[in-house]
Structures are given as C-alpha cells and as structure tokens.
Amino acid sequence: MAEPTTKVARAVKATAVSNLSLGNADDALTLATELQKFVAANSLTSTIQGKQFPNVEAWQFAGTLLGLSPMLESIEDKSEGTEIKWQATITLHNVHTGQVVGRGFATCSNREHTKRSFADYAICSMAQTRAVGKAYRLTLGWLMKAAGYEATPSEEMADVGTVAEVVAPMAGEFEAAMQELRDGAAIKAVWERYPDLQPDERFKTALAECAEFRKPPAQ
C-alpha cells in the first residue's frame, strides 16, 4: 500500500506549485527544484554519452506544473518506397485559457538504426512522442536546464546506433592518419580535419619532432 501513497503525495506536491509564475525568479527556482526531484525519483532520463537527457514523461510533468497540455495538430504519412516515415505536429495549450503557447513537429523513420524492425503504428507513435517533447523543449528548455538536465528530449537525440555506424569508420581514419605523421603536411592535415583530437599524445610528439615546427634556437 506504500506505493499508492507515494504517488498521491507527489500529485499533491505538483498541485501545490501549479500556480507559480515563471516571471518570478523565486517561483522559477522552486519549479526547477521540484522538477529535478520528481525526474530523479522516477528515473525519467536517458544517459547518452555521459549526459542526462529527460524523457518525454519528464517534459510532460514540467508542463503539468505550469498547466500546459499537448494536443495533436496533425499527423502526416511521409512514407516512400520501403521507408515508413511519419511527421507529427503538436501544439501546447494553456489549460486555463485555452491559448496556444507552443508548437513542435518531429519525424520518425524505419531507416533509423534502432527503428528498422518497428511496425507502421510504432513509427507513427514515436513521431508524436518526439513532437510532444519538441514542443515542450521550445517552451521550457531553459527550465529543464535549470533543473540540472540537458535541454533536449532523449527521444529527439540522434539515433545512437546510427551515429555509432558513422563514428566507427571516422575513428579508423583517424588512427590511419596518426600513423602517417611524418612531415609538416601530414600534421597540418590532421590538425585541420580532427581539431578536437589535437591533445592526442602521438600528435603532440610528432609536432615536437617535426623540423618544420621547431622553434629556432635562441641567439
């Protein structure tokens, strides 16, 4: 019986802060703190490359705190040939006034690495899920960041498997390039193509040993 009690307590807590205003700094801090606690307690994030990206449920909770509700505006079938692809548009409404305060659209395709086995309805559903997260992100991204999380919904992130397929050959190319650091031209080529990898010890050693980059001895 403890679990239902916990859920009720959380619901009451959320109701208590629903009348706070984002225009007030203290209220915004209170909202960010409450959001952080709820998301952490319910494990509503996905860890991608060491960072915590909030799932759509986390964004929905943030919206609930402020009386913002998502509604499906449109869903379009963009499929061609063997590709199953859907695009959804979601609007955010203020539940008290009915005013549209945000909008987001997103797509999903079975050509994504982790979606290759998905059925048509699942692709359609994910497009809507992503659009919900996108609509909230455009409106409340800063609040999620203030709560200590990334300001991008996890569902909106680039497909991890697909990215891995691209990064792997790039890593192989870098390793091959590092074996050819015999002259200034090769060093310059690696410098320009892999700017984020310059701290590699092999690169620094080659740079130090290359006559073209040595400083002339002091006179």
Q: Are residues 47 and 93 in the same domain?
A: yes
Q: Residue 42: pLDDT above 60? A: yes
User: Which of 5, 23, 37, 9 minimizes the C-alpha distance to 66?
Assistant: 23
Domain containing 67 — which CATH number?
A: 3.30.390
Over residues 89-115, the pLDDT tens digits come to 999 999 999 999 999 999 999 988 888
Q: Which residue, of 132, 157, 182, is where some domain finishes?
A: 157
Over residues 111-128, the pLDDT tens digits come to 888 888 889 999 999 999
Residue 218 in domain: no
Q: Which residues contact 186 (CB under 8 A, 6 or more apart)?
A: 177, 180
Q: Are residues 84 and 127 in the same domain?
A: yes
Q: Are residues 191 and 151 in the same domain?
A: no
Q: Residue 165: pLDDT above 70? A: no
Query: How many domains is the chain built from?
Result: 2
Q: Residue 78: pLDDT above 70? A: yes
Residue 172 lies in domain: 163-213
For CA atoms 151, 155, 158, 159, the dihedral sign is positive
Q: Are residues 88 and 129 in the same domain?
A: yes
Q: Bigger pLDDT: 216 or 38? A: 38
Q: Are residues 17 and 71 in the same domain?
A: yes
Q: Are 130 and 106 in contact (CB under 8 A)?
A: yes
Residue 219 in domain: no
Q: Are residues 144 and 169 in the same domain?
A: no
**Percent of the chain residues topping a pLDDT of 70:** 60
Q: Residue 189's pLDDT is what? A: 62
Q: Residue 152's pLDDT is what? A: 87
Q: Residue 197's pLDDT is what? A: 47
Beta bridge partners of 85: 109
Helix (H, G, I), strand (E, B) or coil at 157: coil
Average pLDDT rounded to a whole number, residues 183-198 = 56
